[in-house]
Structure 1
């Protein structure tokens, strides 16, 4: 036996379905700290992310001058892995939802 409500789904009911949270883009953010030298941060970005010297230096300068830099963007699970890797290198990193 079917429900009368199920038989009469409205267009509004269909629009209420939202994409799962994990499909939204996320970011790994590296924060400035008083411990790590600039050349070390460049080396980490090159070694771990595979960035070239110029891109790694740009990101390091953003960390140094702005206090933080977005070093990667993608699925939440991957960004959490990147943040953990940055912690393993001794850098401060967090994960956040990318601005819409």
Structure 2
């Protein structure tokens, strides 16, 4: 019986650690959204200043993607949902 309890505790601990590990919010280039709109969304969702928002927008435009935020999975999932609500092509990935 002690083994089953230890396994449950270890599984919960691993799940909690996985949630605390950093996750990247990635925005991908798409042929639909205008650059000014993408920059505006970054300012609205993340509170970025115009310069930082424009830098990420240009990276999306030129490199095809930009890691716009890194942090806990729970908050990253929230940002992904907000960006997708603004019609941006967005994904969540673990840093390499």
**TM-score class, shorter:** 0.7 to 0.9
Give, in whole Å, the separation in 2 of the partners of 1:21 and 1:48: 24
1:96 aligns with 2:93: yes
- Runs (4 or more) in structure 1 with deviation over 2 Å come to 17-20
Q: Which position in structure 2 is the counterpart of 1:14?
A: none
Question: What is the aligned counterpart of 2:70 among 68, 73, 91?
Answer: 73
**Computing the radius of gyration over CA atoms, which structure comes out larger, 1 or 2?**
1
SS of 1:78's equivalent? helix
Give RMSD over aligned pairs: 1.5
**How far is the alpha carbon of 1:86 from its aligned partner?**
0.5
**1:1-100 paired onto structure 2 within 5 Å:** 20-99=17-96
Give, in whole Å, the separation in 2 of the partners of 1:23 and 1:50: 23
* Number of equivalent positions: 83
Structure with higher helix content: 2
- TM-score norm. by structure 2 comes to 0.81
